[in-house]
Structure 1
Amino acid sequence: MKFLGFLTSRIIKALIVVLGVVIINFFLIRLAPGDPAAVLAGQSGASDPAYVEQLREEFGLDKPVLVQLGVYLSGVVQLDLGYSYRNNMPVLTLIVQRIPATLLLMFCAFLFSLVLGVLLGVVAANARYSRRRRWLDNIVMAVSLLLYATPLFWLALMAILLFSVVLGWLPGFGMETVGAGFTGWAYIQDIALHLVLPTVTLGCFFMAMYVMLTRASMLEVINMDFVKTARAKGVAPNTIIRRHVLRNALLPVITFAGIQLGQMAGGAVLTETVFAWPGIGRLMFDALLQRDYQLLLGVFLVTSFMVVVFNLLTDVVYRFVDPRIAAGAQPGGVQ
């Protein structure tokens, strides 16, 4: 019952946050320079003021802003995110077509950064604590800081030049080979090859943060009394690291992982644009250039909903990882 009450309260708060994000994004889009009706009229080669006014009426831009907000919110409740006149199809249909590619990229980049980041963080902490292999800790931290300081777009471009143009090992653009007609296992392999460079590029930045966070957490936990007690009882060093140190050190990592998933949705915009990956990040960039406000609002809504869901899942996982949270106590022991 406690868990059900916790989940219910979190869902209600999540819905309130999504509603607030939708309203704020709506007003921010309306404050942005440029008239979508004028842009669409210019692209069609017609600059007649009467035609522009007709388009404004068709888009509902001639109504007061609060009326437009009410119409938009009523449509969101009915899962109607509007119509993209630039793409000639409903916004929800466009997003549903693109979101699997973004989720695939985010999931692979998340696993890559989390697994490799935690592993290298453990290696660096062990090397630092042993005092005999500090050179290994210095190398891991130097590489992590370098990746953290490297701009994402520059890393993406260098990866394309090196592994696609110069070496020819991996495809540099798109999600699949156009016109190849692969099916079955060959199709999966083709997508996997196209996924390597975007995944590594997007995951390297977050991997560096996981390395530094895991290392700092382990060095803090490894000097605590319960670890010293386990070592005095003769528990094997690997068991101490795995069961006592790493389990407690992962708590802040799990907290950061939920935040990182939301940040990946923003990082995917750059990655998808550079690698021509057909996800909602690329869709958002195109909608911004085309002043397709309905599509832009729809992408903002979906990405904010994804961030809220990821944070909700993080809260649930945290309660299972740390029993003190489920019991109603804070990590420091304060009720």
Structure 2
Amino acid sequence: MPVLIRIARTLRRTLLQAVPTILGIVILNFFLLQLAPGDAADVLAGEAGSATEESVAALRARFGLDSPVLEQLATYLGNLAQFSLGFSPRYGMPVADLIAQRLPGTLTLMAVALFIAILLGVVLGSLMASFAGRIPDRLLSIFSLLFYSIPSFWIGLMLIVLFSVKLGWLPSGGAATIGSQLKGFPALLDKARYMVLPATSLALFYVAIYARLTRAAMLEVKNHDFVRTAYAKGLTPFGVTARHILRNALIPITTMAGMHIGGMLGGAVVVETVYSWPGLGRLAFEAVMGRDFTVLLGILLLSSLLVIIANAAVDLVHAWLDPRIGAR
């Protein structure tokens, strides 16, 4: 079956599954947030310090927080039908504009962290599979599982202590040098320095998963007949590993990577808070503390869309790696 036909079938199947999934996620998130105590009017009144019951009621009426729950849900769904995420009471601006300001930072951080995690995981897993059952395999397993067992916030703090406080090599927080007028490659290099620690902190948790998964997949593929045929044809061990074993082992790895998009968004809340990174994770934390549920609903909806898009991309990669998948 041609590659384009397999990709088209995969996209059609994904889109048919995505629409009811997104609608269910929106409704479920809305009702779950309604169970949380307080609202944005309470927080704004508390910060004012001298608010009265009348002023709090006026705030609720202004932002539609005094309406029945079903009416609020109908209003929110109506806004979504018009491609609007609503208005933020706390920030005083449309939620879409607020998310647009923070989204590039989170996407960049997640992309770099996922790249680091997969690269280190595949390299370590390949080495572990090559020395299966021997001392290097056991040492690398302990090394990778160590970072899997340690909380990400503690890793982040220790990286700050080591590379920022003790060695002074990297900045401890932020996204770029304040007041910097750099442009072009110097500006890119400056932002990269600020991204090293948060991206590494976010990635280290997943390195052990990809390493163990790569090791298991490669050991399984090694026993297949086509691998023995490749060796019989005179291919070098490196050629057999790169062209046959590793390619087939990438299918479970890409599947797990798609599943980890949502987990990385959750981990970004901690990492972005520790490193003062201006992204969606930190915005979600601020929205929870400020009871700004309109912003939080927008972030949850966007997070769901990102997970669905990532899974669709994984399906496309599978259709390319294995023609049998796209033919189903």
Which TM-score applies when normalising by structure 2?
0.95
Q: Assess, with a 3 A threshold, how the Cα gap between structure 1 residues 138 and 5 changes in structure 2: closer, same or farther.
A: closer
2:192 equivalent to 1:188: no
* Structure 1: runs of 5 or more not aligned: 329-335
2:177 equivalent to 1:177: yes
Percent identity at matched positions?
Answer: 48
Please give the residue correspondences for 1:193-204 in structure 2 after superposition, counting only pairs within 5 Å: 193-204=193-204
User: Which range moves more in the overlay, 230-239 or 261-270?
Assistant: 230-239
Q: In structure 2, what is the equivalent of residue 21 of structure 1?
A: 25
Distance 1:324 1:6 in 2: 12
Residue in structure 1 matching 2:112, options 108, 114, 124: 108
Contact persistence 1:40–1:86 (CA under 8 A) = yes
Q: In structure 2, what is the equivalent of residue 229 of structure 1?
A: 229
Q: CA deviation at 1:2?
A: 5.7
CA deviation digits over 1:32-87, x for unaligned, max 9?
A: 01132122112123331111111111121221111110100110121211111211
Distance 2:146 2:6 in 1: 45
Q: In structure 2, what is the equivalent of residue 66 of structure 1?
A: 70
Distance 1:109 1:189 in 2: 17
Q: CA deviation at 1:199?
A: 0.9
2:92 equivalent to 1:121: no
Which structure has more relative contact order (CA 8 Å, sep 6+)? It is 2
CA deviation digits over 1:128-160, x for unaligned, max 9?
A: 2xx7xx222122111111011111000000000
Distance 1:90 1:202 in 2: 29
Q: In structure 2, what is the equivalent of residue 331 of structure 1?
A: none
2:42 equivalent to 1:38: yes
Give secondary structure in 2 for the equivalent of 1:271. Answer: helix
Q: Assess, with a 3 A threshold, how the Cα gap between structure 1 residues 42 and 109 changes in structure 2: closer, same or farther.
A: same
2:302 equivalent to 1:298: no
Distance 2:69 2:239 in 1: 62
Contact persistence 2:63–2:89 (CA under 8 A) = no
- Equivalent position amino acid for 1:199 in 2: A
Q: CA deviation at 1:327?
A: 2.5
- Equivalent position amino acid for 1:29 in 2: L
Give secondary structure in 1 for the equivalent of 2:198. Answer: helix
Q: In structure 1, what is the equivalent of residue 220 of structure 2?
A: 220
Q: Assess, with a 3 A threshold, how the Cα gap between structure 1 residues 98 and 317 changes in structure 2: closer, same or farther.
A: same
Give secondary structure in 2 for the equivalent of 1:173. Answer: coil
Give secondary structure in 1 for the equivalent of 2:223. Answer: coil
Distance 1:19 1:151 in 2: 33
Distance 2:137 2:154 in 1: 26
* Equivalences, count: 324
Distance 2:232 2:137 in 1: 26
Distance 1:35 1:135 in 2: 56
2:142 equivalent to 1:138: no
Distance 1:57 1:145 in 2: 52
Contact persistence 2:116–2:200 (CA under 8 A) = yes
Q: CA deviation at 1:29?
A: 0.8
Residue in structure 2 matching 1:55, options 59, 70, 86: 59
Give secondary structure in 1 for the equivalent of 2:45. Answer: helix
Q: CA deviation at 1:253?
A: 0.8
* Structure 2: runs of 5 or more not aligned: none
Q: In structure 1, what is the equivalent of residue 320 of structure 2?
A: 320
Distance 2:185 2:327 in 1: 47
Distance 1:124 1:234 in 2: 24
